[in-house]
A = this chain, B = another copy of it.
């Protein structure tokens, strides 16, 4: 436990609670899940524009960053940076996604509030605070998911609305 003085110094200008950030991220992850669902099965694993990666490979990257980063925040033990397990069907990819959703909620609950502003070296190579690394992970998902929106539109498929984070 921090003293009241430490809490005040640490957080005097903090504007985003851990609970709000978790909800924010899981809202984005729900949208990414709907993007996976929106892809035709074959296109999910093969479709590309301009030599970019298929959407499934982007999802492996999201999965390879999410739970491993949180595990590092919680334990300060960093596994070698690696992409997630590879699968060959949409159903299996959604199962990996849902497992990560549960894992994120469970690990998050073990991270003390004061941990978020500590300096770390993520995966032994990227310096930042837990907060700044987490937002890199979230922003990377938003960025590449935006790429998926173009894939779907170019296939004539209406993507799920960006504003819906239910």
Determine, out of A44-52, A78-86, A96-104, the stretch whose residues face the partner at the interface. A44-52
Report the minimal beta-carbon distance from A6 to chain B, rounded to whole angstroms: 10
A13 within 8 A of B: yes
Question: Size range of the interface on A?
Answer: 35 or more
User: Which partner residue on chain B sits nearest A156 by CB separation?
Assistant: B50
Q: Which of B24, B49, B142 contacts A49 (CB 8 A)?
A: B49
Q: Which of B11, B28, B116, B140 contacts A139 (CB 8 A)?
A: B28
Q: Which of B8, B15, B130 contacts A21 (CB 8 A)?
A: B15
Dominant secondary structure at the A interface:
helix
A17 within 8 A of B: yes
Per-residue CB contact flags for chain A residues 48-89 toward chain B (1 = under 8 Å, else 0) read 011110000000000000000000000000000000000000
User: Which partner residue on chain B sits nearest A2 by CB separation?
Assistant: B12
Residues of B contacting A154 in the complex (Cβ-Cβ under 8 angstroms): 49-50
Q: Which of A1-56 contact B (CB under 8 A)?
A: 4, 7-8, 11-21, 24, 28, 49-52
CA A28 to CA B140, docked complex, whole Å: 12
15 contacts between A and B (CB under 8 A): A4-B8, A11-B11, A11-B12, A11-B13, A12-B113, A13-B18, A14-B14, A15-B17, A15-B113, A16-B131, A49-B49, A50-B152, A52-B149, A136-B163, A144-B146
In the complex, the 6 A-B pairs of residues with the closest C-beta atoms, listed nearest first? A14-B14, A146-B146, A50-B153, A15-B116, A50-B154, A11-B11
